[in-house]
Structure 1
């Protein structure tokens, strides 16, 4: 596709002057023309009209409406030419002229002409605006030029082309997302050469179409490129290969927002109006924020985002919607003995695999609940005290949670909670506790603590190592003949009102599943 925009230059010889003089072009010959009689008048046509939101200005959408002047350069001299456009043809044509200081034809010899918009005494660098969310910001980021082109007296013409690259994002609702209205879309990961912005807020005056203009550059593969903020969630598209943002090219990304992130339906790359390109799946930060501030999390990055946010608000709820692999990820336990977590953490039966820290929670408070969660293949260690799989110090409720793996500490260890002054219901542990002073479920169960329908299978004979007056009911600690099979029944009996239940998996171990 041709992305160049022709501007036809007509001298007064072809427009007006034949009526004002008896000379013909044949009479003029190839010599010197009378000084001051043949002004250079430009008829501008050919700007491409494209299907984009209405009322965007000027060269961006193929018309001269709102453009008042351009710069023309001949022989190193730059002059400002006025633009006169008519709505008779939708501002698709315009007359460029100067009543005060025009260029003059001095002979019929070819001349070299450059022109550009926006006007300046020199051709400006392409430096677009960071905030293109307004009409003025978007329109003010366009640059066009016709550089060092030969212009003939008898057939004067200039072809203009865009100096920017154009990015269009067509946003659509996908599975689990009824509407994308109100989304904020940005283009990011950009070069800052010549003072250009690294991130651009896009223009979206109508519907779910978002536009941005950038300086020509290359965006490297796997770099966050298109950012979508919707409903408290943040999503990124990372291109699978380098994207060369070429001047005069347009890149149209059709993106569906789903409950699990972005899906790239397709990308067209080519002319200012069309082309052909890339498809794939976009990446995201792995979480949503609900209206009440609660987090819905479905990958390791999302869990870490919640963990960072909860440091400022220890009541932020978190709900898992997928199994999460934390292998190789750093983790700082949430809360401690003095600043406890006070929200609800609902695993919804999903697992967190490969946690490598001292515990998942340092401390949970009286109003907190951790439930329906499976920690799988943990590798936990605490160098200065005791620890446990789910929580070090429990003052709240731990319901239907399981832990497998290895737990070690400077002091005592346990499978579910190190110290319990709350309630622990229908939980189990299967793994290795690397201390003599250890409890399969709890190390210290204080007088206000309760443990109900729990089971363990570990290298310890005790489910509770130190029972300091708390209650322990229907667990293996009271009956050494309890097996996995009978333990599952006992745990389910304790889950009245819960949406999840334990079932025996193919490996003979309990698996937490949603009730049918």
Structure 2
């Protein structure tokens, strides 16, 4: 019996042992009703390894200031508190009042990040603050992530890495008072700012967090403004790749920094002082998307080399370009295969160009070619052009604007304007209920079809008022054309108080030719006068024709001026004629 008893006890112990082993091997843990709380160790954020590039931690290389992180497991996000655990704060413990639990020994997959916004289910895209001048905003722009990491029961460690890059700028060699430092020309992907005001660490050292990005050689990515109004820009010497988790330090000697030729005023407008300054603001519009910036000239500018127009059809310029009464000399564009060329490529709705003179210009493009603007959807006012404008494409060439869908007022052109269809001393075509008034052209104008001393084609419900031409107007087509001293074709528009004088109006291939309008198609011509080689004011008329030839004593310029002014006043024009010399000139009321 005793032997049997001992055997039975041993068997029972063995059975219990096997049961315990089976339970342990299954991974079931007895601690607590829900299992063992998961406590993570956070690592990976070490100080920068080198002075130029290396891994880094939030702001100063540790976990200090990071209150909590989001932890994602099995589709659920919980907040975990952060407690630094090492003397240098480069490691931390992550705990929670409502933790996840170990229920077995199996590995788990975890994603964690900071900063965390309530409701987030995954780490957000990198989006930094535009103003990082305050330390809290600089710190808050960081994004650290431990993504889909495998964590084991015996070693629940999460290694975090940065999704941002850190740019540090050290300034040297300057004596003027520094007003501001900005990072500029940055990528705007995912809504990131194109400019950043960095955090001032002291000792002429500034730092900012940016989204990872490529930076092209020549990009003015550090811009410094001084109290004396001067602005200096430091350009990237070669192409650079700013990578997540790394720090890049640039030591900039402001003694050798390039003057961008403009200053940025308190209201955000740009004051341009040099040729380079004008080219640089053009780049801001065309390459950085600052299409609505206001630009003001402080003096005359001479351009050298090929000009790139400000604004494109897909990215039109919508700011206010104010020449301040100054002159731009030497605008040169030779782009015979390109549409929308001029000082402004495309002036968008709400955009304005005013108070500028272009002299000695040579502008050549395909379609929509003008001295001031290739296409105008805004306002061009009180501008003058002198030189040659050539359209080598099919349509729309003008001394001021190629295609006009906006307002042109108080402008003048001289020199030569040459194109194909819709060619005019002021504009090639003016369409869809728009106004041209108070303009004059002395330019020699030539083209194949729809050629006018002021305007090639006046469209439906559009108005041409108080405008005149004194240059030669020539149709070069041998198949017939519409050519007029003022308008080539008036297609259901209204021409009021306009005249042509002194210049010859000719057509090499015949066609419809008139002292004022070549073809008046269901349009209105009111109180208009001409003094040229022609006997008819309209070459062909299916609308209202109130044109008169000035010669001898039949109709004098005194009579013409009185009639034109009466018609202009009735039409609500703000312009009137005065006769102080041989021909009337315009005055603003």
Q: TM-score, normalised by structure 2?
A: 0.43
Q: TM-score, normalised by structure 1?
A: 0.47
Which structure has more relative contact order (CA 8 Å, sep 6+)? It is 1
Whichever of the two has the greater Rg, that structure is 2
